[in-house]
Amino acid sequence: MLEVLTGTGLAASAGLNAYIPLLTMGLLARYTDAIDLPAGSAWLSNGWTLMILAVLLAIEMVADKIPVVDHVNDVVQTFIRPTAGGLAFGTGSASETVTVADPGAFFTSNQWVPIVAGVVIALIVHGLKSAARPVVNTTTAGFGAPVASTVEDISSVIMSVLAILLPVLVLIGLVVMVWAAVWVVRRRNRRKQERDAGVETRQLFG
């Protein structure tokens, strides 16, 4: 069951930032004994791979902190983050970590399941992130974009590390994400109601 939590945490992290969970796994596999990647994913710890992921991460971190540009980035990442989520879930759930000594046992007969699960999880988280950002930009006149992006990046790093070292705590991270999603939906609905009420008032007295 821990491998499921590991995969879930990494996929959710990819929904916030496609490159952080992949870079985290690669770095930990290359420089520590915290994770032992399966043979088919050993390329993640290659020096060139890590360099490319680092460059892509730097580009996204900058783009995601600029209003309007962050929206364009989210549109592009609609295809990238789910793909990274599927890769992260598949790799993470099949890796030996400090908490998972028998990886892959849960998915022995259906190896495609973790990839599909990762795609779905990352897509859901990406959707919530994309829905939340316009609310943040509108309510803060764009000044909240870099703050929200930084929080998302930090959350992605924490989720990735916890998924590998303490996967049980991934449950807490998921609860926080659900709470944040509910808050965003309620905030957006409240603003819509206030806007509709304002239109009705102007029409009534206009």
Reported as a pLDDT band with limits 50, 70 and 90, residue 106 is: low
Look up the domain containing 81 and give its range. 2-205
User: Between 153 and 39, where is the model more confident?
Assistant: 153
Burial class of residue 21 (count of CB atoms within 10 Å of its CB; 0-12, 13-18, 19+): buried
68 has pLDDT over 70: yes
Alpha carbon distance 60, 70 (integer Å) = 9
- Give the least confident one: 33-37, 78-82, 130-134, 164-168: 130-134
- Give the least confident one: 21-25, 85-89, 112-116: 112-116
102 has pLDDT over 70: no
Backbone angles phi, psi at 105, to 5 degrees: -60, -35
The pLDDT, as a whole number, for residue 153 is: 92
The pLDDT, as a whole number, for residue 21 is: 95
Residue the block writes with tokens 């460059």: 55
Reported as a pLDDT band with limits 50, 70 and 90, residue 135 is: confident
- Give the least confident one: 7-21, 92-106, 160-174, 191-205: 191-205
The pLDDT, as a whole number, for residue 109 is: 55
Say if residues 146 and 33 touch (Cβ distance below 8 Å).
no
Alpha carbon distance 72, 28 (integer Å) = 31
21-39 mean pLDDT: 92
Alpha carbon distance 204, 162 (integer Å) = 55
Across the chain, what does the average pLDDT equal? 83
Count structural domains, the chain. 1
pTM of the model: 0.83
59 has pLDDT over 90: yes
Residue 178 in tokens? 């659900």
The pLDDT, as a whole number, for residue 27 is: 95
Amino acid at 188: R
174-197 mean pLDDT: 71
